[in-house]
Amino acid sequence: MKNHIIIALALLMSLGVENAGAQSFLNKLGKAIEKEVKKEVRKEVEKKIDQLTGGKQGQAQSQQSQQKPQVQSQQKQTKNIVPTVVESQPDGRPVTGSINGYEWVDLGLPSGTLWATCNVDASKPSQPGTLYAWGETSTKSSYTQDNCKYYKKEQKDFSGDKSADVAAAKWGDGWRMPSRADFDELLHYCNWAYVQKDGRWGSEITSPFNSRSIFLPVTGYKEETKHMEAGGNGMYWTSTPHEDQWNNGAHMYQFGGALGELSIGDRSYGYAIRPVADNDAMISTPSQGETNGHAWVDLGLPSGRKWATCNLGGATSENHGEFFAWAQVTPILDEESPKNDVRGKWMSGIGGSTTYDAATAMWGEGWKMPTKADFQELLENCDWEWTTLGRITGCKAVSRINGNYIFLPASGVIHPNSLYPYPDSLNEMAWYWASTPSGDEYYINADAFLVAKSATGTAVHDRRDGLAIRPVTE
């Protein structure tokens, strides 16, 4: 990193601080340095994961050298997931297909999002297609703020709205522009490599879940009448506006060589569009009844306790749902502190409290977080099978009493200072909060339930971490 800074300073001295190219280079270098700092923070977090789980949770990293001069190629490796080539998902769904004649590939992402294999107006993956201003569905001879449709105008995320979404307008029903969350998911879960296809550089994005990939070619961007950086940078719009409604920016993804990140682009610029489609084939387990509109299953347990069929915040059994710090009634968001920070404070059980029990607060009276005793009862009266439901791996708990079952997805865990609001160890393990605090003298942990292929049982976890919740009812 020190060498990179020295080289950057030398280049800036030769170019001059007023040079726009020098300023652009400095901005990119600063972001690269910031990423390196975050990596160091992440290493410290991973040490803590090893201590909590008792196993090695290291992250493999590899670099692939390319022939292009002065370009470092990097490949981000997702932790502990070994790619395997498959022709269909575990539930039999196809990995590839088409909508309205446009092809998609299912990367096995938790959301089920399907990614198109080509950009809008491209006939093959290596073509950049046509560049559009944000929220516009037609091209123009000059891209300026004066003729920008949404320049400093309030506009919500328009993914799927044919009046502003060029993917929906040109490709028809079923297609839409990706949101920032869609690109976030792609960045977090997939492996990225800077490669050449058909003579054009770009990012090859490969799924660690099923080894399928998409290719995003370099595109450059249009500003006024000029096509800038056409051979060296990829710039792709999302449908998500900047959080400040009067700001003339919108979220976009950009990359060039080893650099790649979500950023903010000027709405007047012309960027490429890579469409996505939603996969609605989500799976639910059988249920016997509902409380406040949320389904439960009766496992015939001695206590009479009924277990919800899905995690808190999840729409179906295969969805990992939201993640909560212990005694926090709102989900963890990226870089946000828990609303109810009770680490280091003595507390009794929080089950049924609308202030501290997220299940009660979100699903209403009658629902609550399970206790450690509830998990122990589940453990003693069920047979446990490590299996896959839809696109998610987890444990199927089958009652020895009446044969009914619930599915607990291996939804992972979110640790403080995570780089993304996505869980680590997805499809490998999961922790589920209990409503009972642990007996440690410093009050920093709470009881939890571990779901993993090699071990399933009650344990404790740091109250600050983001865990899933599976509610229970009487």
pLDDT, residue 415, reads 82
Residue at a domain's end among 16, 34, 58 = 58
Residue 448: half-sphere exposure toward Cβ, Cα within 13 Å: 29
Q: Establish if 403 belongs to a structural domain.
A: yes
Total domains present in the chain:
3
CA distance 84 to 97: 19
Q: Calculate the CA dihedral of residues 80, 84, 89, 92 and round it to 10 degrees.
A: -140
Q: Establish if 283 belongs to a structural domain.
A: no
**245-276 tens-digit pLDDT:** 667 899 999 998 766 889 999 999 999 999 99
Q: Do residues 311 and 421 share a domain? A: yes
**Phi-psi category of residue 100: left, alpha or beta, with phi > 0 → left and psi -120 to 50 → alpha:** left
Q: Establish if 284 belongs to a structural domain.
A: no
- pTM beyond 0.95: no
pLDDT, residue 89, reads 57
Q: Do residues 37 and 160 share a domain? A: no
Q: Establish if 282 belongs to a structural domain.
A: no
Q: Do residues 69 and 189 share a domain? A: yes
Tokens standing for residue 81:
């997931």
The helix/strand/coil state of 51 is helix
pLDDT, residue 18, reads 42
Number of C-beta neighbours around residue 94 at 10 A: 11
**176-230 tens-digit pLDDT:** 999 998 998 898 888 889 999 999 999 999 998 888 999 999 999 999 999 999 8
pLDDT, residue 340, reads 62
Residue at a domain's end among 277, 310, 325 = 277
CA distance 239 to 409: 30
pLDDT, residue 2, reads 41
pLDDT, residue 232, reads 86
Q: Establish if 253 belongs to a structural domain.
A: yes
Q: Establish if 299 belongs to a structural domain.
A: yes
Residue with tokens 């446990």: 384
> Which regions of the chain are under pLDDT 50?
1-86, 334-335
Whether the CB-CB separation of 241 and 257 falls below 8 Å is answered with no
Q: Do residues 25 and 101 share a domain? A: no
CA distance 146 to 127: 29
SS3 content of the chain, % helix, strand, coil (to 5): 15, 30, 55
Residue at a domain's end among 11, 37, 58 = 58
Q: Do residues 46 and 79 share a domain? A: no
Q: Do residues 79 and 34 share a domain? A: no
CA distance 395 to 393: 7
Parallel, antiparallel or unpaired: strands 405-409 and 392-399: antiparallel
pLDDT, residue 212, reads 92
Phi first, then psi: give them for residue 395, nearest 5 degrees.
-110, 130
Number of C-beta neighbours around residue 99 at 10 A: 16
Q: Do residues 412 and 299 share a domain? A: yes
Whether the CB-CB separation of 286 and 295 falls below 8 Å is answered with no
CA distance 377 to 366: 19
Q: Do residues 27 and 97 share a domain? A: no
pLDDT, residue 92, reads 60
pLDDT, residue 357, reads 95
pLDDT, residue 51, reads 44
Q: Do residues 217 and 297 share a domain? A: no
* DSSP for residue 381: H
Q: Do residues 303 and 397 share a domain? A: yes
Q: Do residues 100 and 53 share a domain? A: no
Q: Give the residue numbers spanning the domain of 8.
A: 1-58
Instruction: Give the H/E segment covering residue 37.
Output: helix 20-53
The helix/strand/coil state of 28 is helix
User: In whole angstroms, how large is the CA radius of gyration of the chain?
Assistant: 24
Q: Do residues 272 and 404 share a domain? A: no
Q: Could you write out the DSSP letters of every residue in 7-26?
A: HHHHHHHHH-TT-HHHHHHH
CA distance 447 to 462: 9
The helix/strand/coil state of 362 is helix
